[in-house]
Amino acid sequence: MLRFLGFRLLRAIVTIVLVVTFAFVVLRLSGDPALLIMSVDAPPEAIAAFRAAWGLDDPLWVQYIRYFNAIFHGDLGRSMRDGRDAIVLVTERIPATLALTLPALAIKIGIGVPAGVYAALHRNSLADRMVMVMAVAGFTIPSFVLGLILVLVFAVQLGWLPSGGQESWRHAILPVITLGVGGAAVLARFTRSAMLEVLGQPFIRSASAKGVPWAAVVRNHALPNAAIPTVTIIGFMVGSLIAGAVVVESVFSWPGVGRLLVVAVANRDLAVVQCILLLVAMTMVIANLIVDLLYGALDPRLRATRTAGAH
Amino acid sequence: MAARIGRRTTLALPAAAMLAAPALGQSDQRPSVTVAVQKISNSNLLEMLREQSNVGTRIFFNYAEPLIGTDWTGDMSIRPGLATSWRRPSENVVEMTLRQGVRFHNGDEMTAEDVAFSFGPDRMFGGGSMAGHEPPRDAIAIARRSFPGFERMEIVDRHTVRFINKVPDVTLEGRLSRTTAIIGSQRGFAEAASWTDWARKPIGTGPYRVAEFRPDQVLVLEAHDDYWGGRPPIRRLRFLEVPEVSGRINMLLSGEADFACDIPPDQIATVESNARYEVVGGPILNTRVLTFDKSHPVLANPLVRRAITHSIDRQAIVDALFSGKTRVPPGLQFEFFGETFAEGWSVPKFDLAEARRLLREANYKGEPIPYRLLNNYYTNQTPTAQVMVEGWRAVGLNIQIEMRENWSQITSRETQRGIRDWSQGASFGDPVAQTPPNFGRQGSAWISNEWRNEEFGDLSELLETSTDRPARKAAWRRMLEIAEREDPAWTVLHQNTNFTAKRRDLGWKSSQTFVMDFRNDNWGV
């Protein structure tokens, strides 16, 4: 198990280094932060002074080494816009993002998984078709379209809910629904497919033939076996808790990490972008690790393979 | 655990604020006003030495003021502000009498000491005495560019100061009215932890004080009841950042915002279809131009550039894309340039036959010319380009649009540049405010080798340094002849626009700039 964890950790570090390096090179080659932050109308000498102050005149590889050296000393850099620590800027936005993504994750799981299971258990029924129609609609409608429709109906026409901003819990309702609906649709489809595949397996028929009640067959045999693909998808969703609401945060003017990322990328505010990417990569890696561990818990065969590999 | 606490905190704070709001309202009947803006501040700071942008211009006047004011909602002429009067003891000195009884947001009375501080090394030029308060290098550069001949601010007495320039300058009053010339509290600056901390919450004399600033989110201003211009009409003025146009309009229509800024012309009818709302504004003192790169082998020939200028149907663009709500200005100049304004000047005539003749004379064979473009950074930028490309194609010009993501890519010299979009604005009534800083020898076009013309460079310097008014007027006209006709550096397209959607029942006038004036003489009008 330790070797397994060690290998995963090493892979995670390599992944994070590659992500950060790629972002560094792409961002630096595609825009000059001095011009983007100071504006094209700023005097040339002011832009030059900005570049000098932030070391942007140095060769790219020098900037890159300086950046990594700082990271290894625990310094994630400062925002070139207002000089604040990037880590402070990012962490102060995390609660706002989680205020959307955690309830949305609950909606995704709370609606998506039961709906998928129900549809699979009632295959080809009216309920199954309705669930699938809703799932396809939820899956295919882009979040910004759904968000705008919700705003038009519930904020502009009915006046029940605010259209944007982050001033009370009511402001979170529409963005949470927008985020939750799409994810619930994805989960419903995956869960249904997984359940249908498992329900067609010989061991399900065997259990039924032995007289095990159908509910027990589903609970004890179908659900655990169908859980692996569903857990994989949920793992991805957990991994995107930090930066998975970029579009929705923009549509609803929600000041979370996603909006910060958009602004930072537009301004090539490197330290902030890198800080967010590090955070996202770490979240994703941790989520994947948890999913891997859950695989073992859900499927004894995988656990046995790992144990064998550890010897 | 951290996430749970954070989330609770996030939701609880605004809720607490909402509970507190009615209590405040009981003793103060003035309204709270919310303005939905695309961007509050590009730099995340409120100090204009760092925030050189249109969005910064929109808000600054509400919390800080320069010595010499501007008639924002009128003819843009200068007028008494924190200085009640001024005179010129010599060509390089402006002596100003300060308004008495002006209070900063921290309660201090504004004196000549504060004025000297505001133009001093601590806030502007660096090398000051306050430890940890050194301005950023780019802010110093902007200060020097704003006041290139500045020598010192001399205190005559508690309410009289002299701005002393090293060289004669007829535009000093104009320079003293611009955004960088705001007067801040010396004590407030000293009490801030650093220059940047000051820049996040400057203490000025404006009608509203900065109560809260959450960058990229919200700027909350509260009435400064000791304001010298009378009690502000709004109790709480909130600028809320809503990046999407649809979001801003929806906020207005749902009653969450009272104003929505940066409305594109094609959305005006949508907003005004509801009788409770209207869209105000129109042309502003900012001009959309195309600029040419003379280092391009084809554009090196001025005949080709002239052909380009003659094959643009500017009026069609104004009529079709702006519903006639802007205009084609008389070249890169505004009437408020006053005595320097070149009367009778106009943009190159839309004349396809002349354009064809010029291309024949230039022996142009259809070589491609790149036209780098941002996606609607300027209002209707992309459709305007598409209209122009059709006009150019009609005369045989092979101008190819190249979409870019940001300004850095637009100005990059890594591949051959050709034509690009730009805008030019004047912060005070003289061409010195807009043209020499961009096209003169210190300008970015010159420095980046985009366009140079020695005679133009000489005239720019004359315009900046001469006090001979007729000579300045003649120089400006000649500069227009060079840069818009003989050796085109730019060609004017139209005046930029600024439209603000608002509740119809709120009496408020927009200005010819981005400035939003919420003082009592512009409320209920």
Tell if the CB–CB gap between B137 and A49 is shorter than 8 Å. Answer: yes
Tell if the CB–CB gap between B145 and A49 is shorter than 8 Å. Answer: no
* Domains of chain A and CATH, by start: 2-72 (no CATH), 89-310 (1.10.3720.10)
Question: Token pair of B11, please?
Answer: 């939701």
Residue of B nearest to A51 (CA): B138
**What's the pLDDT score for residue B256?**
93
Provide the chain A residues 169-188 that lie in CB contact (below 8 A) with chain B: 169, 172
Tell if the CB–CB gap between B240 and A96 is shorter than 8 Å. Answer: no
**In this predicted model, what pLDDT tens digit does every residue of B296-333 receive, in sequence order?**
999 999 999 999 999 999 999 999 999 899 999 999 99
Tell if the CB–CB gap between A82 and B44 is shorter than 8 Å. Answer: yes
Task: List CB contacts of A97: < 8 A, sequence separation 6 or more.
Answer: A241, A242, A243, A245, A249, A256, A257, A258
**Cα A287 to Cα A2, A229, A235, A290, distances in angstroms:** 18, 14, 6, 5
Question: Token pair of B475, please?
Answer: 């120089």
**What's the pLDDT score for residue A304?**
64
CA distance linking residue B31 with residue B160, whole number of Å: 37
Q: Report the gap between the CA of A154 and the closest CA in chain B (Å).
A: 9
Provide the chain A residues 16-35 that lie in CB contact (below 8 A) with chain B: 30-32, 35
DSSP class of residue A78? B
Q: How many CB pairs under 8 A join A and B?
A: 170
Q: Does A259 touch chain B (CB under 8 A)?
A: yes
Q: Does A260 touch chain B (CB under 8 A)?
A: yes
Closest Cβ–Cβ partner in A50, A156, A162 for B253: A156
Strands B259-260 and B32-37: parallel
Q: Which of B491, B427, B353 is nearest to B52 (CA)?
A: B427
Q: Report the gap between the CA of B244 and the closest CA in chain A (Å).
A: 7
Question: Token pair of A237, please?
Answer: 């969703």
Closest Cβ–Cβ partner in B18, B253, B407 for A36: B407
Closest Cβ–Cβ partner in A83, A253, A267 for B243: A253
Closest Cβ–Cβ partner in A32, A98, A162 for B6: A98
**In this predicted model, what pLDDT tens digit does every residue of B432-479 receive, in sequence order?**
999 999 999 989 999 999 999 999 999 999 999 899 999 999 999 999
Tell if the CB–CB gap between A46 and B141 is shorter than 8 Å. Answer: yes
Distant-in-sequence contacts of B229-232, Cβ < 8 A, 24+ apart: B229/B519, B229/B520, B229/B521, B230/B519, B230/B520, B230/B521, B231/B520, B232/B30, B232/B207, B232/B208, B232/B518, B232/B519, B232/B520
Dihedral-angle region of residue B376 (phi above 0 means left; psi in -120 to 50 means alpha; beta otherwise): left
Q: Does A267 touch chain B (CB under 8 A)?
A: yes
Tell if the CB–CB gap between A50 and B138 is shorter than 8 Å. Answer: yes
Q: pLDDT > 70: what percent of chain A?
A: 96
The parts of chain B modelled with pLDDT lower than 50 are: 1-25
Tell if the CB–CB gap between A44 and B442 is shorter than 8 Å. Answer: yes
Closest Cβ–Cβ partner in B14, B141, B144 for A168: B14
B7 or A137: whose pLDDT is higher?
A: A137
Residues of A in contact with B53 (CB under 8 A): 39, 41
Closest Cβ–Cβ partner in B18, B145, B241 for A46: B145
Kindly state the average pLDDT of the residues A50-56.
Answer: 91
Question: Token pair of A239, please?
Answer: 């991994």
Tell if the CB–CB gap between B217 and A36 is shorter than 8 Å. Answer: no
**In this predicted model, what pLDDT tens digit does every residue of B59-71 receive, in sequence order?**
999 999 999 999 9
Tell if the CB–CB gap between A81 and B7 is shorter than 8 Å. Answer: no
CA trace torsion B427, A267, A90, B257 (10° rounding): 50
Closest Cβ–Cβ partner in A84, A155, A255 for B250: A155
Closest Cβ–Cβ partner in A38, A96, A164 for B242: A164
Classify B399 as helix, strand or coil: strand
Tell if the CB–CB gap between B408 and A32 is shorter than 8 Å. Answer: yes
Tell if the CB–CB gap between A43 and B142 is shorter than 8 Å. Answer: yes
Tell if the CB–CB gap between B406 and A30 is shorter than 8 Å. Answer: yes
Q: Does A229 touch chain B (CB under 8 A)?
A: no
**What's the pLDDT score for residue B13?**
42
**In this predicted model, what pLDDT tens digit does every residue of A162-192 receive, in sequence order?**
998 888 899 999 999 999 998 999 999 999 9
Residues of B in contact with A266 (CB under 8 A): 406
Residues of B in contact with A96 (CB under 8 A): 10
Q: Does A53 touch chain B (CB under 8 A)?
A: yes
**Would you say residue A161 has pLDDT above 80?**
yes
Tell if the CB–CB gap between B247 and A163 is shorter than 8 Å. Answer: yes
CA distance linking residue B273 with residue B338, whole number of Å: 39
Classify B254 as helix, strand or coil: coil
Q: Report the gap between the CA of A50 and the closest CA in chain B (Å).
A: 5
Residues of B in contact with A173 (CB under 8 A): none
Classify B498 as helix, strand or coil: strand
Question: What is the H or E stretch that residue B310 is in?
Answer: helix B302-310
Tell if the CB–CB gap between A40 and B214 is shorter than 8 Å. Answer: no
CA distance linking residue B155 with residue B277, whole number of Å: 50
Could you report the predicted ipTM of this complex, rounded to two decimals? Answer: 0.81
Q: Residue B285: what are its φ and ψ, rounded to 5°?
A: -80, 60
Q: Does A117 touch chain B (CB under 8 A)?
A: no
Cα B165 to chain centroid distance, Å, stands at: 25
Q: Report the gap between the CA of B409 and the closest CA in chain A (Å).
A: 6
Question: Token pair of B32, please?
Answer: 């709270």
Residue of A nearest to B194 (CA): A83
DSSP class of residue B136? P
**Cα B65 to Cα B46, B69, B102, B185, B207, distances in angstroms:** 13, 7, 11, 11, 9
Q: Report the gap between the CA of B144 and the closest CA in chain A (Å).
A: 9
* Domains of chain B and CATH, by start: 2-16+36-258+506-522 (3.40.190.10), 283-496 (3.10.105.10)
